[in-house]
Amino acid sequence: MTNANSKKKLKVWSLSLGCPKNRVDSERLLGSLGVPVSHVEHMGRADLVFINTCGFIDPAVRESVRAVLDAGNRLGSCKKKPLLAVGGCMVGRYGAEGLAQDLPEVDLWLPTADLPRWAALVTQKLGLPLPPEHMPGGGRLLSTGPSYAWLKVGEGCRHNCAFCTIPSIRGGLKSLTAEHIVDEAKALLGQGVRELALVAQDLTAWGADMGLKNGLPSLLEKLTDLEGLAWLRLLYLYPTGVTPELLQLIRDTGPPLLPYLDIPLQHAHPDVLSRMGRPFAGNPRRVLDTVRQILPHAALRTTFIVGYPGETEEHFESLCRFVEESSFQHVGVFAYHAEEGTVAATLPDQVPDEVKQWRRDTLMDIQADISERLLAAHVGTRMQVLVDAPHPEWPGLHSGRVWLQAPEVDGITYVSGPGVTPGALVECDIVENTEYDLTALA
């Protein structure tokens, strides 16, 4: 593509794998190229094919490799081959040089270490003028519709959990400045977004690398008064960072700051938590007791790893009892994967794969009953529903969410009636529930 064509729309086919933080990286890249961008459904018609990979665990790596191979096969017969650019955590984990030998069809590798330069690297390869260094709000090209957007507040992680590859891929904690975050939030709200979901590997650590002792509460105070913000949601709160001061701020602030807390505990038994290098190894219930004391009606989400090295049947049964007693609104369960380069991969007493899967299915069955019971309590009440998108098959029906449902990771609310359009916040009657979803009428 030559500079003479730079005013034309750049046709892009993109795929973002893995977590919401990757989606933000993709949106920032595509919005920061300095030229108008239009998405195309068929990659063969694109000027740029961009795949943002995940490298967190082995199944995600295999999915990423399959996506790249599929793109290479589909583009191989194109008369005018688009630029195939691949970025993200798989590149950060294994390195562009090593991957290039196995995946020669890729034209441009974008390692996570080069995130600030992604736009410049892509435009240079396309023959476009270099993009402006400072794009308003990070130059995000939203892929989530008008209802919500993810707002990433930092990179990397300062913790060293024995099972996790993130610090080796993304590096240590690097907080974005409050000014940058607020500017991006304003830009997103200016596009009509109603909900901002703050996301980081550990939100509670925001600002620690800049010497801030009360970072997250100070950031929240800057965001909650922004015009147009209906909901502000917090995801990935490290247990030790869920302090009484933070909880009191959430309680006293009220809307738009939602009492929704995603606190990844990873396990409940002290022996397993200790082997994981996790906090609260002696008493994992302490953080839940603090939350319930200050925010008794909070919606709690957490994640657990089953089949961790050394996890016995007794350990697993203890975890099951913990989940039954704790009544989490949402639970994600992952079967442990031994990841190369982690401490956990070298531990003795690895658990057989079939046992891991059985434990995952068992815990998910327990949580399904809890989720159904908690959702049933809302049937017959009126709640606000934030409408996300029209249903692809049923005219007049839309998918949306009530405040206790985070985008992409929790269940949804099916909603229909007057005023139900994407981006609308509608008062509705909750009329039905399933294990994970609600049905509402406006």
Q: Render pLDDT for 120-131 as a digit per residue (tens, 0 to 9).
A: 999 999 999 888
164 in a known ligand binding site: yes
pLDDT at 415: 98
Instruction: Look up residue 224 and give its two tokens.
Output: 């909650």
> pLDDT digit string (tens) for 343-365?
999 999 999 999 999 999 999 99
All CATH 2.40.50.140 domain ranges in the chain, comma separated: 382-441
19 in a known ligand binding site: yes
> pLDDT digit string (tens) for 314-324?
999 999 999 99
The fold adopted by the segment(s) 3-136 is: Rossmann fold (3.40.50)
Instruction: Look up residue 410 and give its two tokens.
Output: 């929790």
pLDDT at 7: 61
Q: What's the pLDDT band for 3 if we cut at 50, 70, 90?
A: very low
The fold adopted by the segment(s) 382-441 is: OB fold (Dihydrolipoamide Acetyltransferase, E2P) (2.40.50)
Q: What angle do CA 7, 10, 11 make, to 5 degrees?
A: 150
Inform me whether the pLDDT recorded for 9 exceeds 70.
yes
All CATH 3.80.30.20 domain ranges in the chain, comma separated: 139-376
78 in a known ligand binding site: no
All CATH 3.40.50.12160 domain ranges in the chain, comma separated: 3-136
428 in a known ligand binding site: no
> pLDDT digit string (tens) for 191-200?
999 999 999 9
Measured in whole angstroms, the distance separating CA 282 from the mean position of its chain's CA atoms is: 29
Strands 148-152 and 195-199: parallel
Is residue 290 within a helix (H) or strand (E), and if so which, with residue range? helix 286-294
Inform me whether the pLDDT recorded for 419 exceeds 50.
yes
Instruction: Look up residue 385 and give its two tokens.
Output: 């529903």
The CATH number of the structural domain formed by 139-376 is 3.80.30.20
φ/ψ (deg, to 5) at 46: -90, 160
Q: What's the pLDDT band for 65 if we cut at 50, 70, 90?
A: very high
The pTM is what?
A: 0.92
161 in a known ligand binding site: yes
320 in a known ligand binding site: no
Q: Mean pLDDT throughout 61-66?
A: 95
Inform me whether the pLDDT recorded for 311 exceeds 90.
yes
Q: Mean pLDDT throughout 404-423?
A: 96
**End-to-end Cα spacing for the chain:** 49
